[in-house]
Amino acid sequence: IADRNNNSGGGAVTLTGKPQNASQASANGYADRVNEANVTISTLGGNFTGKFDYGGSLPNFMQSGDRQAYEQAKRNFVTAILRRESGAAISPTEFETAEKQYFPQAGDKTTTVQQKVNARNTAINNLYREANVTRPVLPGQIIESGGKKYRVDSDGESLIPL
């Protein structure tokens, strides 16, 4: 994990060893946003995907702190993806479509939820590829190795078996 996250003290280290150009640096910024949002989504999202889930439509003062964090992470993810794709203002319809594309909805089957996890990871990986850097491993992130799942501990190094 340490090798993957090493940036040698100055800007991003690209896969080719050359400095990032402006487009790559921009993609890197969007990639970091969606990667960080995805940690929150992966950590908290399972709490809000039941058959009768309606909490996202409640006013903030009626939502738990976890629900507010989850909703904010979803907004951050969607706006970063859509802004990078179009650069234009995001319509409510576009936002709603992206929400259904990337995040579990009430009543989604297990296979559909996994497809949405895969879609988020594909979007994140594509942004890092465009930035010409490796995807960093973040505290709280769930990683898989040898068929087992682990959560990266708060120190960013230790793995906690799930």
Q: What global pTM score does this model have?
A: 0.81
- pLDDT (tens digit, 9 = 90+) per residue, 61-114? 777 888 889 989 999 999 999 988 877 778 889 999 999 999 988 788 889 988
- What are the start-end ranges of the H helices in the chain? 2-5, 22-44, 65-86, 92-102, 110-131
Q: Which pLDDT band, with edges at 50, 70 and 90, does 8 fall under? A: very low
pLDDT single digits (tens) 131-141: 999 999 899 88
Give the CA-trace dihedral at 157, 42, 123, 28, to 10 degrees: -40
